[in-house]
Amino acid sequence: MSEGILQRLSEGIVLGDGGYLLELERRGYVQAGPFVPEPSITNPEALANLHREFVDAGVDVLQTLTFYASEDKLATVGLEGRVDDMNREATRIARRVAGEAERDVLVAGNLSCAWVYRPEDRETHRRTRELFDRQLDVMTAEGVDFVIAETFNWLGEAMIAAEAIKATGLPAMITMGPDNDPNSFEGYSPGEQVRRLADAGVDIVGANCLRSPRYMLPIMEEMRAAVPDSVHMAAQPVAFHGTDERPNFVSLPEFPYELEKLTLPRAAMGEFARRARDLGYNYIGSCCGSVAAHVREMARALGKTSSDEREWRTRTGIAQSGYELHRMTEQ
């Protein structure tokens, strides 16, 4: 029987996967703007192949492509009638690809902000819980190892997700999405956010999305200092640059059609993985913009895969590649 997520975290670092929706949009399978996760039902092999890329890069966990797969969100593009199908197929695809791996890869069900919650309106609290429960009913029936609920700006909505996951009996990982103002929309500081989540019994807490490593790391330091060392910590930044004025890449004019201008080099994500480990984070992943090359560099930085490459050299003293040509002329 495979070790669960909490056992793995107690023994060392767990490497999460990378970004899905923006990469699938770049490949032509998702519409920019609504960013609904329809490839699970419209192009299942495109999704399966992206999962495989992350497995080959060295990840320990695959997330189901169920971010934004809630009824009210899907209704914006006329797909509200496919919510169960989308959650079911996304879970089956992730489960199938994990089963193909030569090592034991866990599958995490994914929940996200539902764009319904309003703190002053109790009816929206009920509706948010209903949307989460519907997704969880399908995902748990198909078999997920734990649940990741992510990218929350309202702490109150994150708390509703915590209650919904707790009702399934599965381990919960909940991460907040720090906007340009890193405080939650209620005004709670990053440290207070994770303190309240941990006090509510959430197993793994932290931050994800919206910010690059440069702008995520200070928040991570505050979060780590706010809870006991026994609390598992997670971080999944984006692989896009932000600015001092707008660290949230979604708020930049390049989003969503000129993101190529903002993409981080793979080495930046490898360096982030090392710094996150040194801060005491033991679930280290990445989010939007992070593709297999970024994740592979993170795996190498964390010792998940070998950094050794086979030796190669010209046998004639004449360059056999452009790379070699310029290195030879620079010596």
Domain boundaries, the chain: 5-330
pTM: 0.95
Confidence of residue 268 (pLDDT cuts 50, 70, 90): very high
User: Among 69-83, 177-191, 252-266, 309-323, which stretch is predicted with the lowest mean pLDDT?
Assistant: 309-323
Q: What's the pLDDT score for residue 328?
A: 52
Cβ(13)–Cβ(284) below 8 Å: yes
Q: Report whether pLDDT(321) > 90.
A: no
Q: Report whether pLDDT(222) > 70.
A: yes
Percent of the chain scoring above 90 in pLDDT: 91
- Residue range 258-264: mean pLDDT, rounded: 98
Q: What's the pLDDT score for residue 330?
A: 63
Cβ(177)–Cβ(209) below 8 Å: yes
- pLDDT tens column, 177-191: 999 999 999 999 999
Q: What's the pLDDT score for residue 1?
A: 41
Cβ(69)–Cβ(83) below 8 Å: yes
Alpha-carbon distance of 86 to 66, in angstroms, equals 7
User: Among 121-125, 267-271, 273-277, 324-328, which stretch is predicted with the lowest mean pLDDT?
Assistant: 324-328
- pLDDT tens column, 110-126: 999 999 999 999 999 99
Q: CB atoms < 10 A from the CB of 202, how many? A: 25
Q: What's the pLDDT score for residue 319?
A: 84
- Residue range 252-258: mean pLDDT, rounded: 98
Q: Which helix (H) or strand (E) holds 89?
A: helix 83-100
Q: What's the pLDDT score for residue 250?
A: 98
- pLDDT tens column, 50-89: 999 999 999 999 999 999 999 999 999 999 899 999 999 9
Q: What's the pLDDT score for residue 310?
A: 80
Cβ(190)–Cβ(178) below 8 Å: yes
Q: Report whether pLDDT(309) > 80.
A: no
Percent of the chain scoring above 70 in pLDDT: 97
Confidence of residue 312 (pLDDT cuts 50, 70, 90): confident
Cβ(91)–Cβ(142) below 8 Å: yes
**In whole numbers, what is the pLDDT of the chain averaged over residues?**
96
Report domain 5-330's class.
alpha beta
Sheet with 172-176, edge to edge strand ranges: 14-15, 283-284, 232-236, 204-208, 172-176, 146-152, 106-112, 61-63
